[in-house]
Amino acid sequence: MARHSSKDKTSKDRASKDRRSKDKSSKNKGKSPKAGRTETGPALTHIDSGGEARMVDVSDKPASERIAVAEGRVIMGQATLDLILSGNAKKGDVLGAARIAGIMAAKRTSELIPLCHPLALSKVTVDIAPDQTLPGCVVRATVKVTGPTGVEMEALTAVSIACLTIYDMVKAAERGVRIEAIHLVEKKGGKSGHYRA
């Protein structure tokens, strides 16, 4: 009777293991991670079980007071900032127009961001502070609502549109104006609690 060496046995075991690995790989081929869930983090609430974008159902959430604060900066040359502060910009009151634009944008966020809920906002303020050290303007928006979902997007939208309005108002004087660092500063209320950057 022929003897099988330990080397032959090891080779057979390895070949068997490789086949099992290939079979497992072919079964999983084309499968993606569980819909709505990232490989390293929690579920994305705007993705349904089929992997499609959806508006989150907030009908079961209790209404509570929610506040969000966002901020951004508009960086420009000193001469352009002086033009804004003097009120001599071609299009008129730059900061006044930007404040109104930001407030209007916050109220219409659900029309701009597809999966945002339309909300009856109870407060929107847009504050614009000229900063000689930039030089430029720091734009800050605060949005408040009593409802089932937060207002982070409304605050970020308000800042974004206010910054863009400043650019539009002064672009004739300086095309190289930059919009930077738009971010959420703080949020209060809701299940996730208090956040501060």
Q: Is 168 a catalytic residue?
A: yes
Catalytic residue among 48, 82, 127, 168: 168
Give the chain as a 3 state SS string: CCCCCHHHHHHHHHHHHHHHHHHHHHHHCCCCCCCCECCCCCECCCECCCCCECCCCCCCCCCEEEEEEEEEEEECCHHHHHHHHHCCCCCCCHHHHHHHHHHHHHHCHHHHCCCCCCCCCCEEEEEEEEECCCCEEEEEEEEEEEECCCCHHHHHHHHHHHHHHHHHHHCCCCCCCEEEEEEEEEEECCCCCCEEC
Question: What would the two tokens of residue 128 be?
Answer: 């614009």
Say how far apart CA 161 and CA 159 lie, in whole Å: 6
Residues in a beta bridge with 136 = 75, 131
User: Which residues are catalytically annotated?
Assistant: 168
